[in-house]
């Protein structure tokens, strides 16, 4: 699984989807689910997950176990479960990793099977929504990175945008409302099965293990109807899609023009760079 270059067939699919989405801003895609369980898409999704390594989920299954079982056989069974609409995601294993400020960041670890499935969905959906993402968004996008965001901010500071509203959104991933997120997805996707797949991932139960090794499960995301699993392959796409609403809303309300402001976002961090004397209003309007 060392060769990670995208297979030509997957590349062609992605190019076709992106070209269609770019050419027709109002186009809605009716047939996407069948592309998620394509043999080449699932194989490439597995290769990506393999290169990212990652710990096992609640079932304990790792890459060595899958390959000992037979990769083609394993992928074939996953494809069949998807085709028959029998696929159901497992609970997400939650672990906590220390942050620089001493606090703990929750990280969700899906099973390998679910990670491959989410990655396959991302391979299909990314080209569509990439066509819609505004230039202000730098995170989780091919050819864009945090360094470019920093350079953009620096240039704007020197180009008569000396005042800055700096926001680090608390629990951004955990607070995204499902209803509004699904609306953002449905703006481009009509395929009921593809939307159902994403909804199942949003509503996954979470399993935690306490200091004594006791396991507990909760359905907080489903009960509160908010939150996307931080750490899952599909979450960066969903996080970007929801942030897009803020960027577009800011422009639609005329705040970019009226305040002489520019937004730069990276994941759950955003800055609004303003003309002199406009930062207070920008903060209030944000």
Q: Rounded to two decimals, what is the model's pTM?
A: 0.92
CB 215 within 8 A of CB 209: yes
Alpha-carbon distance of 203 to 193, in angstroms, equals: 15
The single residue listed with the structure tokens 């400020």 is 101
Window from 69-73, 126-130, 141-145, 218-222 with minimum mean pLDDT? 218-222
Q: What is the pLDDT of residue 4?
A: 52
| Percent of the chain clearing pLDDT 90 (strictly above) | 79
Strand partners, 92: 206
What's the pLDDT score for residue 1? Answer: 37
* Ordered DSSP codes for 151-190: HHHHHHHHTT--EEEEEE-TTHHHH-BHHHHHHHHHTTB-
Model confidence at 5, in pLDDT bands (50, 70, 90)? low
**Element of type H or E holding 146:** helix 146-158
pLDDT band at 211 (very low <50, low <70, confident <90, very high): confident
User: Tens digit of pLDDT for each residue in 178-187?
Assistant: 999 999 999 9
Mean pLDDT of 176-195: 97
Pair 269, 167: CB distance under 8 Å: yes
> Do 94 and 107 form a contact (C-beta atoms < 8 A)?
yes
- CB–CB of 255/128 below 8 Å? no
79-118 tens-digit pLDDT:
999 999 999 999 999 888 887 888 777 788 999 999 999 9
User: What's the whole-number average pLDDT of the chain?
Assistant: 93
Token pair of 6, please? Answer: 């995208």
Query: DSSP E strands: which ranges in the chain?
Result: 92-98, 104-109, 163-168, 206-209, 215-218, 262-266, 269-274
Residue 2 has pLDDT above 60, yes or no: no
Task: Supply the pLDDT for residue 103.
Answer: 79
**For the ranges 22-36, 89-103, 133-147, 270-284, which has the lowest average pLDDT?**
89-103
Whether 242 shows a pLDDT value over 60: the answer reads: yes
Beta-carbon neighbour count of residue 222 at 10 Å? Answer: 17
pLDDT for 57 beyond 60: yes
Supply the pLDDT for residue 98. Answer: 83
């Amino acid at each position: 699984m060392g060769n990670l270059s995208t297979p030509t067939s997957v590349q062609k699919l992605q190019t076709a989807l992106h070209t269609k989405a770019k050419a027709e801003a109002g186009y809605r895609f009716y047939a996407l689910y069948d592309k998620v369980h394509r043999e080449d898409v699932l194989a490439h999704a597995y290769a990506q997950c393999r290169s990212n390594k990652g710990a096992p989920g609640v079932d304990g299954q790792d890459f060595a176990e899958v390959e000992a079982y037979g990769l083609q056989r394993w992928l074939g069974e996953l494809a069949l479960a998807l085709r028959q609409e029998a696929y159901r995601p497992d609970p997400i294993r939650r672990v906590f990793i220390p942050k620089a400020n001493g606090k703990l960041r929750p990280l969700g670890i899906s099973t390998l099977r679910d990670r491959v499935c989410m990655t396959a969905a991302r391979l299909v959906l990314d080209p569509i929504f990439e066509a819609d993402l505004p230039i202000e968004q730098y995170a989780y996008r091919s050819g864009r990175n945090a360094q470019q965001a920093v350079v953009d901010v620096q240039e704007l500071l020197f180009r008569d945008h000396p005042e800055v509203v700096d926001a680090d959104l608390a629990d951004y991933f955990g607070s995204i409302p499902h209803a509004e997120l699904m609306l953002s997805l449905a703006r481009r996707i009509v395929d009921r099965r593809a939307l159902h797949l994403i909804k199942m991932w949003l509503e996954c139960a979470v399993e935690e293990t306490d200091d004594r090794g006791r396991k507990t499960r909760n359905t907080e995301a489903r009960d509160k109807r908010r939150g996307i699993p931080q750490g899952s392959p599909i979450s960066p796409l969903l996080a970007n899609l929801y942030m897009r609403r803020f960027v577009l809303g800011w422009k639609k309300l005329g705040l970019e023009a009226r305040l002489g402001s520019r937004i730069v976002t990276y994941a759950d961090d955003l800055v609004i760079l303003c003309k002199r004397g406009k930062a207070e209003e920008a903060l209030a309007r944000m």
